[in-house]
Structure 1
Amino acid sequence: MKTLYFVLTALLFSACSVVNPTQTLPSMKYFSINLQNIQINTSIYKDASIIVALPKSLDYSNNIFYKKDEIIYTYAYHFWKENPNLMIKNFLEFNLQNLKIFKAVLNQDSLAKVDFILESKVNILEQEFLDRTHSKAKFAINLTLVNAKDKNIVASQYFYYEKKLNNTKPDLLIKAYNDIFKQFGEEFSTWMIKNLE
């Protein structure tokens, strides 16, 4: 019995040494969406304030999602730098401040009186694989501009974007998202101006 115990213990320790101690796991990478100044000329100015509400419908994690064969997965070593809900909220606030059509773009927990609320629901923020190397970066969001005084909807719009990728490198996925968000920023700014004229 002692011999069997000794052999099992020796086998256990020798199995542990099979893994090369210099072998390391891939390093984790964190990505974010670039905030780019969009130049849109407008003469509109509202003596009003606006709050951007935290987007709904996204997982409250930093995971980057992809879909393959109708199943949702997450990348093991690649993450968003911050929660995508906060990232999109910051993106919307940045674009509203850049437009300079409001007296103030307030934080969600501000105690100041607010005139408008921008609500959003993110429907899609994922990469969809078509085969082993081809995929699409996808983003869809529904925005609703609400008059805070009478609680009436001023405008509502669904935005959808996708960009095809011919490579599986995460850096190219993030570049595609930056292109998508640049286009979304331009269309969002135009939509806001149109609905406040």
Structure 2
Amino acid sequence: MKKYLFIFVLSFIFYGCSINHQIDQTQMFILKNDEISSSTLFKKTTKILKIKNASLPLYLNSKSIVYIENNMGNSYAYHFWADLPSSFYRSLLLSKLEQVKIFKTVIFQGSSLKPDYILESRIDSFEQIINSKQNYTQIIASVNLINAKENKIISHRLFDSRENINQNDIQNIYQSFEKNLNSLTKDIVIWINSNVN
């Protein structure tokens, strides 16, 4: 009996030593909303704005943090977005629009309410750019503000926002993306404000 107990203990020790004790290095990042300065005067309307889901290229339709180094695309192995870039974009836009109260309400694509205005967006870039001279994040969005009643484009604009990265570590990269997306969505809200009645 002691022989079997000894074999059991010995095999348990060897089995325990063979277990791979890898540490999960995965980190998920959330881009948070900053407040818009109250120095800008925003219109107050009784209109409804619908924000349609932003379209984007297939390579950006993932939670990967994409970087382009010397024109070659790649993504970080252990660092990811907690949500899709298009979801962060929509969320920050919604937060800022609700903060400034231009519209009576802001709704999403699936709502059955009839809007007065529709905001259509296409995200063309949401990545870190690295080359021999520069290291920055770039977010490009093509945006249409549409009169829903007349089905006509009121205004179109291409927004191209860039934010430098001082040190190439994940915290600085994340902060650059967050600052960049907040800057871009603030510019879009100010642009919307100048184009509604």
TM-score range, shorter chain: 0.7 to 0.9
- Matched residues in 1 for 2:69 and 2:86: separation? 23
Cα pair 2:89 2:185 within 8 Å, conserved: no
Question: What fraction of aligned residue pairs are identical, expressed as a percent?
Answer: 21
Aligned to 1:103: 104
Q: TM (normalized to structure 2)?
A: 0.82
Once the two structures are overlaid, the 10-residue window that deviates more, 181-190 or 62-71, is 181-190
Aligned to 1:39: 37
Aligned to 1:146: 146
Q: CA deviation at 1:25?
A: 4.6
- Alignment CA distance shift 1:20-1:65 (3 Å): farther
How big is the alpha-carbon RMSD for the aligned residues of Structure 1 and Structure 2? 2.3
Cα pair 2:92 2:182 within 8 Å, conserved: no
- Matched residues in 2 for 1:34 and 1:43: separation? 22
Cα pair 1:134 1:166 within 8 Å, conserved: no
- Matched residues in 1 for 2:66 and 2:34: separation? 24
Cα pair 1:130 1:136 within 8 Å, conserved: no
Once the two structures are overlaid, the 10-residue window that deviates more, 65-74 or 184-193, is 184-193
Aligned to 2:71: 70
What do residues 92-141 of structure 1 show as CA deviations (whole Å, max 9, x unaligned)?
1112111201111012111111111100011110011114x952111111
- Matched residues in 2 for 1:118 and 1:33: separation? 21
Q: TM (normalized to structure 1)?
A: 0.82
- Matched residues in 1 for 2:42 and 2:168: separation? 44
Unaligned runs of 5+ in 1: 1-16
Once the two structures are overlaid, the 10-residue window that deviates more, 36-45 or 107-116, is 36-45
Task: Say yes or no: does 1:191 pair with 2:191.
Answer: yes
Q: How many residues align?
A: 179
Q: CA deviation at 1:27?
A: 1.2
User: Aligned ranges for residues 109-188 of structure 1 at < 5 Å?
Assistant: 109-131=110-132, 135-188=135-188
The letter for the 1-side match of 2:46 is D
Aligned to 2:50: 51
- Matched residues in 1 for 2:86 and 2:189: separation? 19
- Matched residues in 2 for 1:23 and 1:87: separation? 34
